[in-house]
Structure 1
Amino acid sequence: MLSVIRERIKNAPGGSVSYATFMEMALYHPKHGYYQKNKEKIGRNGDFYTSGTTSAVYGAVWADVFYSMFRELEIPFVICEIGAGDGSFAKSVLDEWQAKGYPALDYVVIESSPYHAERVGRKLVGHSWSCYSSLEEFQSVCPSFHGIVFGNELLDALPVHVVKQTSSGLKEVRVALNENGDLINVAVHADGQLRKWIEDYQRELEPGQTMEIPLAMTSWLGMLYEWIRRGFVVCADYGYTEEEWRRPEIREGSLRGYYRHQLIPNPLSHPGEMDLTSHVHWDCVRKVGGDYGCSTSCFQSQQEFLLENGILDHLVKNAGRDPFSPEHKKNRAIRSLIMDNSISRYFQILIQKKDGCS
Structure 2
Amino acid sequence: MIAVQGRGGVMLRHHLKEMIESSPKKRISYHDYMAAALYAPTIGYYASPKKKIGSRGDFYTSGNVGDAFGRSLARWFVHLIKVCGISPKIVEVGAGDGKLAYDILVYIKETEPLIWDSLTYVLVETSPYHKKAQQERMGMFKQAFFASGAEEWTSMDGIVFSNEFFDALPVHVIEKDDGALVEVFVTIKDGHLLEVKEPLSNPDILSYLTERSVTLHDKQRYEIPLKMVEEYEKIASNIESGILLTIDYGYIQKEWMEPAHHQGSLRGYYQHEMIGDALMYPGDMDLTTHIHFDTLMDRGERNGLGTCKLYQQHEFLLKTGILQELKEHQETDPFSKTAKRNRAIRGLIVPGGFSEHFRVLVQTKNLAVTAKVFPE
- Normalized against structure 1, the TM-score is what? 0.95
C-alpha distance in 2 between matches for 1:223 and 1:309:
27
Letter in 2 for 1:325: S
Map of 1:121 onto structure 2: 135
Residue 95 of structure 2: which of 78, 81, 84 is its match? 84
The 3-state SS of whatever aligns with 2:16 is helix
Q: Does 1:108 align with 2:118?
A: no
Contact 1:176/1:185, CA 8 A, preserved across alignment: yes
Amino acid aligned to 1:124 = M
1:311-335: per-residue Cα shift (whole Å, max 9, x none)? 1121111342222222112111111
Distance 1:215 1:319 in 2: 53
Seen in structure 2, the aligned counterparts of structure 1 residues 225 and 4 have a Cα distance that, compared at 3 Å, is same
**Contact 1:166/1:208 (8 A) holds in 2:** yes
Q: Is the 8 A contact 2:94 2:123 kept in 1?
A: yes
In structure 2, the partner of 1:283 is: 294
Report the 3-state secondary structure (helix = DSSP H, G, I; strand = E; otherwise coil) of the residue aligned with 1:15.
coil
Letter in 2 for 1:68: H
Cα distance change on mapping 1:176 and 1:318 into 2, 3 Å:
same
Gaps of 5+ in 1: none
Cα offset for 1:168? 4.2
Q: Which residue of structure 1 aligns with residue 195 of structure 2? A: 185
Aligned-partner Cα distance in 2 for 1:195–1:329: 49
Counterparts in 2 of 1:316 and 1:337: CA distance versus 1, 3 Å: same
2:94–2:124 Cα contact (<8 Å) kept: yes
Match of 2:7 in 1: none
* 1:257 to 1:126, Cα distance in 2 relative to 1, 3 A: same
Alignment of 1:132-147 (within 5 A): 132-136=147-151, 138-139=152-153, 143-147=154-158
- Structure 2 residue 104 is the aligned partner of structure 1 residue 93: yes
* Equivalence map 1:227-306=2 (5 Å): 227-306=238-317
Q: Is residue 195 from structure 1 mapped to residue 209 from structure 2 by the alignment?
A: no
Q: Is the 8 A contact 2:59 2:271 kept in 1?
A: yes
Match of 1:336 in 2: 347
Distance 1:222 1:188 in 2: 29
Q: Is the 8 A contact 2:84 2:367 kept in 1?
A: no
Displacement after TM superposition at 1:343 (Å): 1.7
Q: Could you say what secondary structure the match of 1:223 adopts?
A: helix
Counterpart for residue 43 of structure 2: 32
Instruction: Give the C-alpha shift of residue 336 in structure 1.
Output: 1.5
Whole-Å separation in 1 of the counterparts to 2:14 and 2:213: 36
Say whether 1:158 aligns with 2:169.
Answer: yes
Q: How do 1:188-227 and structure 2 match up within 5 A? A: 188-191=198-201, 192-227=203-238
329-338 or 314-323: which moved more? 314-323
Cα RMSD after superposing both structures: 1.5
Q: Which residue, out of 11, 24, 49, partners 2:22?
A: 11
Letter in structure 2 aligned against 1:214: P
* Offset of residue 72 of structure 1: 4.9
- What letter is aligned with 2:192? D
What does the per-residue CA deviation read over 1:263-313, in whole Å, with 9 as the maximum and x for residues that have no partner? 010001011111000000011011101111101112111011112222112
**SS state of the match for residue 151, structure 1?**
strand
The whole-number CA distance in structure 2 between the counterparts of 1:221 and 1:242 is: 18
The alpha-carbon deviation at position 188 of structure 1 amounts to 0.9
1:131 aligns with 2:142: no
Question: Within the alignment, does 1:321 sit opposite 2:332 as a pair?
Answer: yes
Name the SS of the counterpart of 1:35 in structure 2.
coil
Match of 1:21 in 2: 32
Once residues 307 and 345 of structure 1 are traced to their aligned partners in structure 2, the CA distance between those partners, rounded to angstroms, is: 13
Q: Check conservation: 1:229, 1:356, Cα contact below 8 A.
A: no
Moved more, 197-206 or 212-221: 197-206
Cα deviation 1:192-243 (Å, max 9, x = unaligned): 2212101112431122210000011112211221111111111110001101
| SS of equivalent to 1:13 | coil
Q: Could you tell me which runs of 5 or more consecutive residues in structure 2 were left unpaired when the two chains were aligned.
A: 1-11, 369-376
Cα shift readout 1:71-93 (whole Å, capped 9, x = no counterpart): 45423211111111121110110
Question: Contact (CA 8 Å) 2:30, 2:172: kept in 1 or not?
Answer: yes
Cα distance in 1, alignment partners of residues 166 and 69 from structure 2: 19
Q: CA deviation at 1:170?
A: 0.7
